[in-house]
C-alpha cells in the first residue's frame, strides 16, 4: 500500500513538473537543407525489389530568409561600417537611422562591416517631439520573440531595459508617443543555423499602420501585422561523415508522416554523398500511384537536423 502511494506521488510529481515546463507550440526549429536523390525514379508497386536507395549531399549554404504565412523571401543584412548601437543613434528617446518612418514598424538584419558582427534592428514610428508632430502620438507594440540563438545580447533598448530585453520571456513591450521605440539584438552568431520568430501585437490609440522588413538595398517587404514572422539563417558547413546514419529516415511522403529508417549502403571511395537504403516493401506500402514527394530527414552528430526531398513516379501497372 505504502509502495502504491509512493508510486502515485511520483506520478503526480512528474505530471506537475511536465505541466510547469513552458510549452510553446510555435517555437521554430532550425532545419538545414540537405539534398537527396532517391532511386528508382520510377517505383513499380508490383516490383519484388528489396531496396530503395538514396544519395544524401550536404551542400554549403549561408543565407538569410524572412518567412510569413508560408511565403519565404531571401534577404541580406543592411551593411554599414558602424557599431550597431552607434547606427541606432539613440537620443531624444528615439532611433535616428535612415529608415525611421512615421507609423511604420521596421525590422532588419544589420552587419557592422568593421567587425562582421551581426545584429537585428527593430524600430517603430519616428522622433517628432516638436511640431508638426508627424509621428504617432500614442501607440504600443508587443513583440514576443521565440527561438533566439544562444549568446545574443540587448545592444540597445529604446527606451531602457524596461521596454526591450532579450533575457525575458516577452522581449519587447513598448509604449510611446511622438518618439520611436524599439531596440537592437547584438552578437547574433553567423556560423550556426538558427530560426527565430516574432509574434507581434500592435495597439494604442494611434497604432502603427504598417510593418515591414528592410532588405540590404533599402527595399521593403510588407508584413501582415496580425501574423508572426520568422527570420532564419540557413547555414550548413558539414561533411556527409558528420551524419549520424542511425537517425536517417523517410519522414514524409506527399505530406503524410511516415517513419522508415535507413540502413547504410556502401559507396565508392571519394564520393561526396552518403548512400543509404530503405526497405522497399515498406516504401511501396506508403505510396500510391502518381508523383510521390519523399522527404528524408536526419541528424548530424552535433545535433543539427537536416532534411531534403525528392519526387519520384509511382506506378502500379
Ligand atoms: Ca517608450
Ligand atoms: Ca522611445
Domain ranges (residues) in the chain = 34-60+238-315, 62-236
pLDDT of residue 77: 98
pLDDT at position 25 over 70: no
Q: Is residue 137 pLDDT above 80, yes or no?
A: yes
Under 8 Å between Cβ of 129 and 197: no
What average pLDDT does this structure show over 59-68? 97
Tell me: the pLDDT tens digits for 146-205? 999 999 999 999 999 999 999 999 999 999 999 999 999 999 999 999 999 999 999 999
The pLDDT of residue 260: 97
With a pLDDT cut of 90, the percent of the chain lying above it is: 86
Q: Among all ligands shown, which has an atom nearest to the Cα of 126?
A: 2
pTM of structure: 0.84
**Mean pLDDT of all residues in 258-269:** 85
Pick the ligand that lies closest to the CA of residue 141: 1
What's the CATH architecture for 34-60+238-315?
Sandwich (2.60)
What is the residue-wise DSSP string for 16-80? Answer: HHHHHS---TT----EEE-EEEEE-SEEETT----EEEEEEE---EEEEEEEETTEEEEE--EEE
Q: Quickly list DSSP for 164-219.
A: B-TTSSS-EEEEESSS-EEEEEEEE-SSS-EEEEEEEEEESSS---EEEEE-TTS-
Ion ligand 1: protein residues whose beta carbon lies under 5 Å: 159, 176, 181
State the ligand closest to the CA atom of 125: 2
- Structure confidence at residue 266 (pLDDT): 75
pLDDT value of residue 15 = 44
State in Å: Cα 262 to ligand 1 middle.
54
DSSP state of 270: T
Residue 22 reports pLDDT greater than 60 = no
> Closest Cα to residue 120, out of 195, 170, 61?
195
**Per-residue pLDDT at 16:** 44
Closest ligand by atom to 176 CA: 1
The residue with cell 528524408 is: 296
> Under a CB-based contact definition with an 8 Å cutoff, are residues 30 and 305 in contact?
yes
The pLDDT of 236-258, averaged and rounded, is: 95
Averaged pLDDT score across all residues of the chain: 92
Q: How high is the pLDDT of residue 289?
A: 97
pLDDT in tens, 272-309: 899 999 999 999 999 999 999 999 999 999 999 999 99
Using a pLDDT cut of 70, give the percent of the chain over it. Answer: 91
DSSP 3-state assignment of 161? Answer: helix
Amino acid at each position: 500500500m505504502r509502495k502504491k502511494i509512493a508510486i502515485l506521488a511520483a506520478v503526480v510529481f512528474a505530471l506537475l513538473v511536465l505541466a510547469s515546463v513552458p510549452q510553446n507550440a510555435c517555437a521554430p526549429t532550425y532545419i538545414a537543407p540537405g539534398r537527396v536523390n532517391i532511386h528508382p525514379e520510377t517505383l513499380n508497386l508490383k516490383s519484388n525489389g528489396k531496396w530503395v536507395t538514396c544519395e544524401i549531399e550536404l551542400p554549403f549554404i549561408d543565407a538569410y530568409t524572412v518567412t510569413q504565412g508560408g511565403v519565404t523571401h531571401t534577404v541580406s543584412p543592411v551593411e554599414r561600417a558602424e557599431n550597431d548601437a552607434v547606427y541606432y543613434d539613440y537620443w531624444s528617446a528615439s532611433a535616428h537611422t535612415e529608415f525611421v518612418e512615421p507609423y511604420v514598424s521596421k525590422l532588419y538584419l544589420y552587419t557592422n562591416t568593421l567587425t562582421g558582427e551581426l545584429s537585428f534592428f527593430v524600430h517603430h514610428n519616428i522622433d517628432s517631439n516638436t511640431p508638426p508632430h508627424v509621428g504617432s502620438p500614442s501607440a504600443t507594440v508587443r513583440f514576443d520573440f521565440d527561438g533566439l540563438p544562444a549568446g545574443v545580447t540587448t545592444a540597445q533598448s529604446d527606451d531602457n531595459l524596461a521596454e526591450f530585453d532579450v533575457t525575458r520571456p516577452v522581449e519587447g513591450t513598448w509604449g510611446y508617443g511622438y518618439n520611436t521605440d524599439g531596440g537592437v539584438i547584438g552578437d547574433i552568431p553567423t556560423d550556426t543555423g538558427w530560426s527565430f520568430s516574432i509574434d507581434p501585437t500592435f495597439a494604442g490609440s494611434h497604432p502603427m499602420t504598417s510593418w515591414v522588413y528592410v532588405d540590404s538595398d533599402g527595399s521593403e517587404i510588407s508584413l501582415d501585422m496580425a501574423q508572426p514572422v520568422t527570420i532564419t539563417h540557413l547555414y550548413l558547413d558539414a561533411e556527409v561523415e558528420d551524419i549520424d546514419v542511425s537517425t536517417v529516415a523517410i519522414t514524409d511522403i506527399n505530406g503524410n508522416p511516415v517513419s522508415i529508417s535507413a540502413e547504410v549502403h556502401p559507396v565508392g571511395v571519394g564520393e561526396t554523398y552518403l548512400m543509404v537504403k530503405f526497405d522497399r516493401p515498406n516504401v511501396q506500402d506508403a505510396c500510391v500511384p502518381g508523383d510521390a514527394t519523399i522527404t528524408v530527414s536526419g541528424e548530424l552528430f552535433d545535433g543539427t537536423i537536416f532534411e531534403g526531398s525528392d519526387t519520384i513516379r509511382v506506378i502500379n501497372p
